[in-house]
Amino acid sequence: MILRNLQNEYVKQLSEMYEPDEAAAIFAAFAMHHLQLDRAAFQSALNKSIDDRFIDLSIRTLIKLAGGYPLQHLTGETRFYGLDLAVNGDVLIPRPETEELVDWVAQTIRSEKNEKTPLSVMDFCTGSGCIAIALKKNFPEMHMSALDLSEAALRTARMNANRHRTDIRFILSDINDYAGEIPLDLIISNPPYIPDAEAANMHINVLMHEPQMALFVPDDEPLGFYEVIGEIAAADLKPGGSLFFEINPNFARAVVELLYSFGFKSVELRKDMHGKERMVRAVK
């Protein structure tokens, strides 16, 4: 059997869960991980024969994928902002939209940084640590802290931070109990923002295998985390400091109004790669 035939089988067997291009991409990621190929080498290998051991592994993986398991949980890692990060059922699998948020923050730091002292930065609801680690890796001089309510999530975040030799102060705390310690230059957060009512429209692999507490908020409090973090930012950010959020596009305008109500002098929305208002920056 050649590798392309196996990819076609993935597309066929996963057709009820994924679009053909998405299923093909899942197989490509799986094959590149286990065969240790980059994308160019994978494309070159599609018409080559594969051994029985890889075929057996592929079929066993396909059965689990068809049962709703995310590929990232089967490989144990994902790629985020150029970094390989461990993921499991205790943390959300980082999304490409969150990479866009990190990129906006990084561009802002590079364009506006004019202080001799390192930036003080806080990442609320850190989960796997993806945001904090990506920023610290690109700006090693910054003082980075990251908070999460889940002890299990922080274990994964610490493992990822150690893997990439990034010195990050992790804080185990409910965000409602957080007491600011020092003035901050930047606050970043990708908090839970999906109302419970939207769960029925979500993919089975998300509902069954990712932590619900990191995804959902009560229907009657869709902006709960934004209110708490916005209030912290209004108090703890230095003048001219920035708050960056990933947001639910359905509540983009409401988040903007909320941030203005906290006294931020400017609030900017940005669209993600799909044209949805997914990110916001507020300047104190």
Beta strands per DSSP E along the chain: 77-80, 83-86, 120-124, 143-148, 168-172, 184-189, 194-195, 216-217, 237-246, 266-271, 277-283
Length of the chain (residues): 284
The per-residue pLDDT of the chain, averaged, comes to: 95
Question: How many whole angstroms separate alpha carbon 255 and alpha carbon 7?
Answer: 42
pLDDT at 205 > cutoff 80? no
**pTM given for the model:** 0.92
Mean pLDDT of 270-274: 96
pLDDT value of position 240? 95
Reduced to 3 states (helix: H, G, I; strand: E, B; else coil), residue 268 is strand
Give 262-266 contacts, CB < 8 A, sequence gap 24+: 262/230, 262/231, 262/233, 262/234, 263/234, 264/234
CATH superfamily of 90-283: Vaccinia Virus protein VP39 (3.40.50.150)
Rounded to the nearest 5 percent, the helix, strand and coil shares of the chain are 50, 20, 30
C-alpha distance from residue 151 to each of 26, 147, 157, 160 (Å): 30, 10, 10, 14
Question: How many whole angstroms separate alpha carbon 258 and alpha carbon 247?
Answer: 13
Domain ranges of the chain: 3-67, 90-283
Closest CA to 263 of 249, 280, 244, 282: 282
Mean pLDDT of 132-146: 97
pLDDT value of position 10? 97
Q: What is the pLDDT of residues 48-98, one digit of tens each?
A: 999 999 999 999 999 999 998 999 999 999 999 999 999 999 999 999 999
Mean pLDDT of 257-282: 97
pLDDT value of position 204? 74
pLDDT value of position 199? 85
